Amino acid sequence: MKTIIKYILLCLLVVNTVTAQNKTKSINLSNAEVVPYEIELTQNKTTHILFPSSIEYVDLGSSEIIANKVEATSNVLRLKTVKEDITPTNFTVITIDGKYYNFNAIYKTEPIQLSYDLTKFAKQNSKQQSEVLFKDLGSTSPSLADLFMKAIIKKNKKELNIKSKNYGVEARLKSIYVQDGKLYFHLSINNKSNLPYKLDYISFKIKDRRTAKRTTIQEVTLKPIRSYSDAQTINSQSKQESVFMLDQFTLSDRQVLLIEINEKNGVRNQVLKVKSSDFLKVKKLISLKLI
């Protein structure tokens, strides 16, 4: 009997020891902290923050501060307080490249600084920036998507011969790449004229190649998920290289993809026609060296 009791007590001791060890193995979340920026705000003056890329999301920790994107831009945030001496609070900003920014805000009647340029700070900061994933990009992070598009422009491979020329402006689809369910279209616009070329829009549409009379033309408009280097003005005697990312799709023999490039207040419009046979020349992005 004594032996059995000793055995039971030993088992209880082992169970208690293991339980105690498991309790001490909990993760300390301070190791995962996103270190916030410190910023001073006031009521009678506006504070501006310039971010390296477009602002996608803003969350304010208190209704005592107000924040808005500057209308003429996509990457400048203006802030001020609604009253004097507010309670210290915080706010969060996520930019389109997936970067996550956290700020601790305090009230000061006369802030030391009213304008912040985080593009300069990003170049000086060697620490890895926190990054979020967007649903429309799937498993590809925003920074990796940017890296893909930069690599496409840098390598500048001409895999296709699809072009359009009108009034001294030439547009060309150089290549199509695929990666993680996304298609990357490399476009080049060469303005050989003496007049600047102002872009109105670039659209992607799938249309039926042949339609019988008195039938509705089948048309599907595709919206790019991301783009790179899509400047609105191409100066005279200049060339612009752009990459547009779209969700993966295919074409039947009866369909064509129209890439329409329209000039603002002008007639130098371009149309690139991509056939189903051109999609046989789609390359994997893995074939490009990213660095």
Alpha-helical regions (H) of 80-174: 118-124, 142-155
State which fold the 33-132 domain adopts: Immunoglobulin-like (2.60.40)
Cβ–Cβ under 8 Å, residues 197 and 269: no
The radius of gyration of the chain's CA atoms, rounded to the nearest angstrom, is 28
Q: Name the 3-class secondary structure at 71.
A: coil
Report the pLDDT value the prediction gives residue 125, as an integer from 0 to 100.
54
**Cα–Cα separations (whole angstroms), residue 91 to 49, 100, 129, 274:** 13, 11, 17, 46
The pTM of the whole model exceeds 0.85:
no
Q: Please, are residues 39 and 103 in contact by the beta-carbon 8 Å criterion?
A: yes
pLDDT at 126: 45
Tokens 């030439």 — which residue?
170
Which amino acid is residue 258, in one-letter code?
L
pLDDT at 55: 87
pLDDT tens for 32-72 read 667 788 999 998 999 999 888 888 888 888 888 999 888 87
Pairing of strands 197-208, 219-222: antiparallel
> Which residues, in sequence order, are bridge partners of residue 189?
171, 240
Distance CA 155, CA 132 (A): 28
Fold match, 33-132 / 143-287: yes
d(CA 84, CA 262): 50
* pLDDT, tens only, 263-277: 888 888 999 999 999
Q: Which of 240, 118, 225 is nearest to 180 (CA)?
A: 225
Q: Where are the domains of the chain?
A: 33-132, 143-287
Domain with residues 143-287, CATH architecture: Sandwich (2.60)
Query: For position 124, what pLDDT does the model report?
Result: 54
Q: List strand residue ranges (DSSP E) for 153-196, in order.
A: 162-166, 169-179, 182-191
Q: Are the CB atoms for 115 and 107 separated by under 8 Å?
A: no
Residues of the chain with pLDDT under 70: 1-33, 121-133, 211-217, 230, 287-291
Looking at this protein, which amino acid is placed at residue 130? Answer: S
Give the pLDDT of residue 214: 47
